[in-house]
Amino acid sequence: MGVLVIARLERKISAGIQQRIGPGYAGPLGIIQASADGVKPLSKEDIIPSKGDPWLFNIGPAMVITPVLMGYSVIPSGHSIVLADPGTGVIYRIAASSIAPPGPPMTGYGSNNKYSSLGGLRAAAQSTSYEIPSASCVSPISLSSSLSTVDTVEAQSTYGLWGWNLRRQPIGFVAFPIPPLAECERLPFDLPEAEEELAAGHQTEYPGIKSGLSYVAPHPNPSAPSSFATVPHPGGWNPPILPPPDLGFGHIGSEMTDGTAEVIGTAVGMTVASAKAHSPLFVTITARRTSPRVRMDQPPDLGRKFPLPIAPGNPSSTASLQLINLSST
């Protein structure tokens, strides 16, 4: 469902930027166009390159999309709306994203195509260049004294907007979107799939359902990091202005039945979390349609000059804030 929403947003926002209508014939207002695109690969023939590596070729698409789906499992949309809540959910999310780089080189090498191999190597180099800055930007979790994603959001639920870690770590919040934007292989960082140079990059030789998986994989890539970014910085499902207690958002209200209060609180939390998660996509899609492609040496160079120097200072400033809080209590 998330992939369909992202595909819809990308088509309509891109159409608005380019002053065109966008999809409008498949269903009312074109809302089932993304579903039609997903069904189409099922009718295609599954072909394996004769001189490629069948094992790597077949497992490659799964290696690309599996880390994204693993990361979604610990992202909460409400206090009880989360697939898994391990005590180390934040570390799990970082570890899941760190196993993504081997996927594109596997698909490129298994295809026995020099353009695919080059695209896979580009994707791996681009992804590993931003691993350390991406991990350092979640340092505000230390302010909640827990590695659980749910506990991290709960620690920001006391004072509304003033209780969010956003005001404590504005630099980390600004730097956080850069690594995911570079890792999701979209303009201006789409070097692994540069159409004018590499056709479709490491996805060039994939037909049928494997092509569909390769098409689906980039769509959750911008959404998964933006959904996870709501955990350490902007308070997750907590609204900027706390609702009245009778809504049962923080606790069960006295004038409502328990079930009613819980339903209303859950609905409000899911709506707030979804709005926070999808708002950065407007910036990402706008950058994709308005920015030129950078050179191959520029993404790693940007990672060394901007996010990487911030990486050591961000945890240090978070630790300083924690010491100040401890000394004042």
DSSP 252-281: --SSS-HHHHHHHHHHHHHHHHHHHHHHHH
pLDDT of residue 154: 85
- The boundaries of the domain holding residue 4 are 1-43
Q: Same domain, yes or no, for 280 and 132?
A: yes
Count CB-CB contacts under 10 A for residue 1. Answer: 5
Same domain, residue pair 4 and 82: no
Asked if residue 204 lies in contact with residue 51, where contact means CB atoms within 8 angstroms, the answer is no
Whether residue 264 lies inside any domain: the answer is no
pLDDT of residue 328: 65
pLDDT value, residue 319:
73
Asked if residue 62 and residue 19 are part of one domain, the reply reads: no
Q: Are residues 185 and 318 in the same domain?
A: yes
Distance CA 6, CA 284 (A): 11
**199 phi-psi bin (left φ>0, alpha ψ -120 to 50, beta other):** left
Sequence-distant (6+) residues with CB within 8 A of 95 are none
Q: Which amino acid is at 287?
A: A
Q: What Rg, from alpha-carbon coordinates, does the chain have? A: 21
Residues 50 and 164 grouped into a single domain = yes
Mean pLDDT, 10 residues at a time, over the chain (329 residues)? 72 78 73 75 77 82 82 83 84 84 83 82 80 75 80 82 80 75 74 69 76 67 78 84 59 49 78 84 78 76 75 72 69
Whether 205 and 67 map to the same domain: the answer is yes
Return the pLDDT at 251: 44
Whether 176 and 39 map to the same domain: the answer is no
According to the model, what pLDDT value does residue 1 have?
Answer: 62
For residues 39 and 135, state if they share a domain: no
* Alpha helices, H only, the chain: 2-17, 33-39, 54-72, 89-98, 103-110, 114-128, 131-136, 149-154, 170-175, 178-183, 195-198, 208-216, 220-229, 258-290, 298-305, 307-328
pLDDT given at position 255: 45
Q: Verify that 308 and 280 share a domain, yes or no.
A: yes
pLDDT of the residue at 199: 67
Residue type, 325: N
**Which amino acid is present at 283?**
V
Same domain membership, residue 4 and residue 126: no
> In this structure, is residue 252 part of a structural domain?
no
Structure confidence at residue 123 (pLDDT): 81
d(C-alpha 97, C-alpha 131), whole Å: 8
Same domain, 30 and 64: no
Cα–Cα nearest to 5, from 40, 39, 41, 32: 32
Token pair, residue 305, equals: 């000059």
Please tell me the predicted confidence (pLDDT) of residue 254.
39
* Helix axis angle, 307-328 to 298-305, nearest 10°: 30
